[in-house]
Amino acid sequence: MIFVTVGTHEQPFDRLVKAIDRLKEEKIIEQEVFVQNGYSPYKPGFCQYRDFIPFEEMMSRMEEAEIVITHGGTGSIMLVLYHGKVPLVMPRQSKYDEHIDDHQVLFCKTMEAKGKIIDVYEADDLESVIKNYPQLVQQLQNQGNGQAAASTEHLNEKARVFADKLHEICLQLVTKK
């Protein structure tokens, strides 16, 4: 299963959602796809989706997924790392009116340089990255050897702490209703 999340930012991220839906329609993606669609007005016709999902479901879907595709939000990326997976990240870009600036692009370039994510900046590149995802993950793992493994474990621990705190906050918000 492929899980796609666009986060909760108010600006739509139709570029990612449309690209994934097209790949599913054309049967380039054969496995099941679930999209957390956010504020995107485009509604997928070939993928399962919901605009927003509870935190517990997000965690469960990330755990189940073979590939997690996310926007470039720090929280979303850290949650994927928490699950010990390499996120495929398409950062929101200001030139497409997906965000007010390009902080996601800058963050993704840093994370890519450290070998923590696989990033893709243009929708047309998604197909080859998805098709080659296992090989790309293997390349990342081979590049770093032991040093990267230690660094990844350190980052995974930080992601676990972050996710636990985020979960606590979500539970507090839910119980205050």
Q: What is the separation, in whole angstroms, between the first and last Cα of the chain?
A: 33
- Hey, which residues does 118 pair with through a beta bridge? 88
Phi-psi label, residue 65: left if phi above 0, alpha if psi -120 to 50, beta otherwise:
beta
**Residue 101 binned pLDDT confidence (cut-offs 50, 70, 90):** very high
CATH for 2-175, options being 2.60.120.260, 3.40.50.2000, 3.40.50.300, 3.60.10.10: 3.40.50.2000
Report which residue type is found at 172: Q
Distance (Å, whole) CA 161 – CA 95 = 34
Cα–Cα distance measured from residue 126 to residue 130, given in angstroms and rounded to the nearest whole number: 6
Model pTM score: 0.82
- Model confidence pLDDT, tens digit, residues 28-60: 999 999 999 999 999 999 999 999 999 999 999
Under the banding of pLDDT at 50, 70 and 90, the label for residue 124 is very high
Domain ranges of the chain: 2-175
Q: Which residues pair with 50 in a beta bridge?
A: 36
Confidence of residue 106 (pLDDT cuts 50, 70, 90): very high
- Here the tokens at position 86 are 């390499």
Percentage of the chain exceeding pLDDT 70: 93
CA distances from 147 to 141, 144, 151 (A): 10, 6, 6
Whether the per-residue pLDDT at 19 is higher than 60: the answer is: yes
Asked if residue 177 has pLDDT above 60, the reply is no
